[in-house]
Amino acid sequence: MATAVPQRGDLDSRSDASPAQRNYARARSLGRYLATPLFLALVLLALYLYISGRTLDSIEQRSISSAIIVDRTIEHIQLTAVSTAAVVLLAVPMGVLLTRPAARRFTPAFLAVANIGQATPSIGLLVLFAIVWTIGFTPAVVALITYAFLPILRNTMVGLEGVDRSLIEAGRGMGMSKGKALRTIELPLAVPVILAGVRTALVINVGTAALAWASNAGGLGDIIQTGIATRRDPVLITGAVLTSALALFIDWLGGIAEDQLRPKGL
Amino acid sequence: MIRLENLTKTFKGQKDPAVEDLTMEIPEGEICVLVGPSGCGKTTTMRMINRLIEPDSGKIFLEDEDVTSVDSDQLRQRIGYVIQQIGLFPHMTIEDNIATVPRLLGWDKKKISDRTDELLEMVGMDPADYRPRYPKELSGGQRQRIGVARAMAADPSVMLMDEPFGAIDPITRSRLQNEFLRLQADIKKTIVFVTHDIEEAIKMGDRIAILRERSRIAQYDRPENILLAPADDFVANFVGSGASLKRLSLAKLSDIELIDWPTADLDTDPDQVREILQRSDRGWVLLLDDNRRPQRWVSSDDLEDDDEDLSRTGLRADSIAHPDTTLSAALADMLTSDKSSVIIVDESGAYEGVADLETITNATKAMRVEARADNGHDRDGLAETGTEESEESGGRLKKDDS
């Protein structure tokens, strides 16, 4: 008779055998984490050297004074942060709702509307809002939300639908309610995909916020616009470089958040 | 105990019911295997017991309590559930996975922690080592063990297992099956076990329900009886060829009457051995040592030389078996041994008896007669020759305790 004593030997000791591998992975991700800020610091330094090596006229001095740069940067960050936070609060619950069996039949209609939002050029939307509604911070944020809604909605739905059905069945079979299964199984497992959507939305918003000047809502796009309107290259270049640097920096933050917030064990 | 009464389920958009008017009772502490071809409704049937699928009509009883319309989430917390994919939550540690149901039930932390340790030890995994691990750090067999431990966390009296060993390699599967059977001998849960594999059904089941389409019961009986007296052609086909051989793997040497072979001590005088040989019609004597351990087979030809030391004559007595050896294993031994027989010894190695091919044939015949008597029917195709002989040898089969 075969006596089947449970054998520890059948463990594939992935967790034991790979400290070296893990160190390597950590060093690599550390390198990845440091590369972007280093690059951005170099770019900003170059910009600083370029500007300080020139004699600026009074228009240029006024347009890229440090007070203006700080103000515009804060505006830009505010626009991006508020619109992204709002779109997360709106699109994630919407994505959850649209993946529930009861609401499935509305899904195509909602996706069609979200598609229109994504397809409409945001500058057109801003101008439209300025004509029929108002200008300022709020319409700019609404335009950004409209534009960034689809990626988060889509990724929330894809993430939730990608959760292995057997895991939900196991949870329900052990007596989890639908809500409990959603909170403890579906959402945590969908987090990586949802976060990828959030990062995409963040990048879209930080880029699109450069158009917020059209709604008189400030942002770094304002500096670019001034540079174009006054035909001052140093101003234009400063605005463009700062906008790009901020976009890259925020994307970098998004990448770190994605890595850190991903559930362990996946 | 689980009782199903007239369960019927028709899925939306389908004309025929998936389960039609099913009534069955699963006795306390037994493993009942639902087996049948794919699409016969066995999984649907199982999932109606914990109401993951709500029946259209009919009633479900758990320990005599009608649970057809109680809160289904609470009902499921009382029923262990293991599925083929195991379904361990990848983002939770082993500890958290096992604690799923206890937490739903609101146990306090200490109790959950103690129970987790207990369960890990029960399935042979070191708690300190495995509690903090994630499922991806375990092998398939270990995950399956955790799946079973998780299902048992709140000590449910009833468990549902849907092809729990289906996705595991054959060697590990067989080991896990044995482990589980040993565990079940202690914990005595009432288990509904779904599989499409008749071999697994025979091995695991105290009872087997063979289902045909719409989950209608073709036969619901002990595995022995299903193998030897299939109720109809459907069952016979499903069980497949070699049913009698499979039956042999269910019976042990201790279940059958052994031959009392003539024996003698090693230091017996050869003349005396010759005398024993003449008195018996067997042609061989089995020589035992001081502790009654079988040593040599001796025939009269081996005794012609008077001076010969008895401990070196004849054939070595190999192919020794214990009483808990299955008949199929014993048969395999016989086929490879010189004497076409096996010697059965007890724990200490002392001689108990001998079994040969004839013993096995007679035992199978007896089992067949008994199975047919149990079922109260007879099939001409299986009756074979010499019913009289079968009945006569029926006495050779010791009465089963069942």
Q: What is the pLDDT of residues B221-270, one digit of tens each?
A: 998 888 888 888 898 888 876 677 777 888 888 888 888 888 888 888 87
Answer with the residue of higher pLDDT: A101 or B156.
B156
Query: Which pLDDT value is given to residue B306?
Result: 60
* B66/chain A closest Cα distance in angstroms: 18
Q: Does the pLDDT of residue A13 top 70, yes or no? A: no
CB B238 within 8 A of CB B36: yes
| Residue partners of B162: CB distance under 8 A and separation at least 6 | B43, B46, B47, B82, B83, B84, B194
> A12 pLDDT exceeds 90?
no
Using a CB–CB cutoff of 8 Å, tell me whether B159 touches chain A: no
Instruction: Give B136's contacts in chain A (Cβ within 8 Å).
Output: 14, 265-266
Of A14, A167, A184, the CB nearest to B137: A14
* Shortest Cα distance, chain B CAs vs residue A112, angstroms: 29
Query: Does residue A34 carry a pLDDT above 60?
Result: yes
Distance from A171 to chain B by nearest Cα, in Å? 8
Interface contact B90-A265, CB threshold 8 A: yes
At residue B35, the pLDDT reads 92
Query: What is the CA angle A50-A51-A52, rounded to 5?
Result: 95
Of A6, A10, A170, the CB nearest to B123: A6
| CB pair distance less than 8 Å for B83 and A173 | yes
For residues B184-202, give the mean pLDDT.
Answer: 91
Q: Tokens 């146990």 sit at which residue?
A: B107
**Which residues in B lie closer than 8 A to residue A180 (C-beta atoms)?**
104
- pLDDT band, very low/low/confident/very high, at B101 (cuts 50, 70, 90): very high
* Confidence check: pLDDT of B115 > 90: yes
Looking at residue B305, what is its pLDDT?
65
Q: Report the share of chain B in percent with pLDDT over 90.
A: 41
Mean pLDDT of B104-114: 94
Over residues B352-359, mean pLDDT: 86
User: Across the interface, which of B78, B86, B89 has its CB nearest the CB of A185?
Assistant: B89
> Other C-beta atoms within 10 Å of A229: how many?
11
Quote the CA–CA distance of A227 and A220 in Å, as a whole number: 11
pLDDT at B396: 43
Residues A11, B325: C-beta atoms closer than 8 Å? no
Long-range contacts of A102-111 (CB under 8 A, 24+ apart): A107/A157, A110/A153, A111/A150, A111/A153, A111/A154
pLDDT of residue B395: 39
Please give the residue of chain A at the shortest CA–CA distance from B122: A6
Average pLDDT, chain A: 85
Residue B134 has pLDDT above 90, yes or no: yes
Residue of B nearest to A176 (CA): B73
**The whole model's pTM is what?**
0.72
pLDDT at residue number B388:
39
User: Chain B within 8 Å of A56 (Cβ-Cβ)?
Assistant: no
Which of B279, B325, B396, B390 shows the shortest CA–CA distance to A1? B325
Reply yes or no on whether the pLDDT at A263 is more than 60.
Answer: yes
User: Dihedral of the CA atoms B149, B151, B155, B159 (nearest 10)?
Assistant: -130
Q: Collapsing DSSP states into helix, strand and coil, what is residue B329?
A: helix
- B156: pLDDT strictly greater than 60: yes
Query: What pLDDT, on the 0 to 100 scale, is given for residue A53?
Result: 86
List phi, psi (to 5°) of A47: -60, -45
Q: In terms of CA atoms, which chain A residue is nearest residue B99?
A: A174
Q: Residue B239: its pLDDT value, please? A: 85
CB-CB neighbors (< 8 A) of A172 in chain B: 52, 76
Q: Is the pLDDT of residue A56 over 90?
A: no
What are the chain A neighbours of B149 within 8 Å (beta carbons)? none
**pLDDT reported for residue A22:** 63
Mean pLDDT computed over every residue of chain B: 85
B104 inside 8 A of chain A by CB: yes
Mean pLDDT of B90-115: 94
CA distance A23 to chain B (A): 18
Helix (H) or strand (E) segment spanning residue B264: strand B263-265
**CA B108 to chain centroid:** 38
Query: What gap in Å lies between CA A127 and CA A131, rounded to an integer?
Result: 6
- The predicted complex's ipTM stands at 0.77
Higher pLDDT, A107 or A191: A191
Residue predicted with more confidence, B138 or B314: B138
What is the reported pLDDT for A18?
53
Tokens of B170: 């054959």
Average pLDDT over residues B53-72: 92
Tens of pLDDT, residues B299-344 = 877 777 665 677 777 788 888 888 888 888 888 888 888 778 889 8
- Chain A residues closer than 8 Å to B347 by CB: none
What are the chain A neighbours of B178 within 8 Å (beta carbons)?
2, 4
H or E stretch covering B101: helix B100-104
Q: In this complex, do A10 and B142 lie within 8 Å of one another by their Cβ atoms?
A: yes
Q: What is the pLDDT of residue A11?
A: 41
Say yes or no: B151 contacts chain A, CB-CB below 8 A.
yes
What is residue B347's predicted lDDT score, i.e. its pLDDT?
Answer: 85
Q: Which of the four pLDDT bands, split at 50, 70 and 90, describes residue B375?
A: low
Per-residue pLDDT, averaged over B112-121, amounts to 94
pLDDT band at B211 (very low <50, low <70, confident <90, very high): very high
Least confident residue range of A90-99, A152-161, B18-27, B268-277: B268-277
Tokens for A146?
A: 């409209």
User: What pLDDT, in 10s, does the model give residues A114-132?
Assistant: 888 778 887 888 888 888 8
Q: Chain B within 8 Å of A136 (Cβ-Cβ)?
A: no
| Interchain contact A167–B (C-beta under 8 A) | yes
Distance from the first to the final alpha carbon of chain A: 39
Q: Using alpha carbons only, how large is chain A's radius of gyration in Å?
A: 24
CB contact A101 to B (< 8 Å):
no
Sign of the alpha-carbon dihedral angle for B218, B219, B225, B229:
negative
pLDDT band at B53 (very low <50, low <70, confident <90, very high): very high
Q: What is the pLDDT of residue B401?
A: 43
- What tens digit of pLDDT does each residue of A143-192 get? 899 888 888 999 999 999 999 999 999 999 999 999 999 999 999 999 99
| Residue in B with minimal Cα distance to A166 | B87
State whether residue A172 sits within 8 Å of chain B by CB: yes
Closest Cβ–Cβ partner in A4, A167, A265 for B179: A4
A174 vs B402: which has the higher pLDDT = A174
Chain B CB contacts of A169 under 8 Å are 52, 83, 87
